[in-house]
Amino acid sequence: LECMMQDLPWLLHRHAPPHAAPVSFTAMDGAFTYAPAKNSLHEARKNAAAGRSPASASSAELSLYAANCAILRLAGAALPPPAEATVAGVIRLPATPWVVLTPAFKPSVGIALSRFCGGAAISLTASSGLLLDGDITVHSLSLDGALRISAVRGARVTVRALRVRNAGWRVRELSPEEAADEATPEVLRLRGYALDVLEERVLHFGVPGEHIVDEA
């Protein structure tokens, strides 16, 4: 149940002490907690130009990648510093590696940190894309391109040493004709861009058990 935040204090202070409700709060980095996707691309452009949150499909998606990159940094991985970019006319969007950590890999932030146990031996370039899905532990990874690693339930993957270099994924902004064409998938028209796969490395482990990736 959601209420207006300005209404809540009236409920908390309805009774005088000592019957008043004890109040506390938890403050968290907004990058981990707030990335709404509620505005059209047109409204997102106007909001961003006015210094407000775009609150669009593109800003929400890119904020997710940025939050996952923040987890990698907390684990000690070597990533380029956070930056900003203009995508499909929306300014000041997060520009980070495209990192997807599925719930099977990241049921909690703590578990995700424990699975990035390599620290500084894990590195991604600014244009890299990484998808991890399943019980995967990463000790050493050097990525300049795109990499997908997935494991079925019951499979446990240990990445001891892996180096990937390829053309990766690239953002392609929709042309005005594509954006206006109803044949273009709606999700692309909402984002204003497509993510084209130029080249990627795919490692899928479809059999339960222990698996080691060691290409040292």
Is residue 177 predicted with pLDDT exceeding 60?
yes
Q: How distant is the alpha carbon of residue 192 from its chain centre? A: 18
CA separation for the pair 60, 82 (Å, rounded): 16
pTM: 0.87
pLDDT at 16: 59
Q: What percent of the chain has pLDDT over 70?
A: 89
Q: How far apart are the first and last CA of the chain?
A: 52
Contacts of 81 (CB under 8 A, 6+ apart): none
Of 29, 11, 31, 7, residue with least CA distance to 20: 11
pLDDT at 3: 64
What does the pLDDT look like over 41-77, one tens digit per residue? 999 999 999 999 999 999 999 999 999 999 999 999 9
Of 131, 25, 21, 23, residue with least CA distance to 68: 131
Structure tokens at 13: 């202070």
CA separation for the pair 179, 188 (Å, rounded): 8
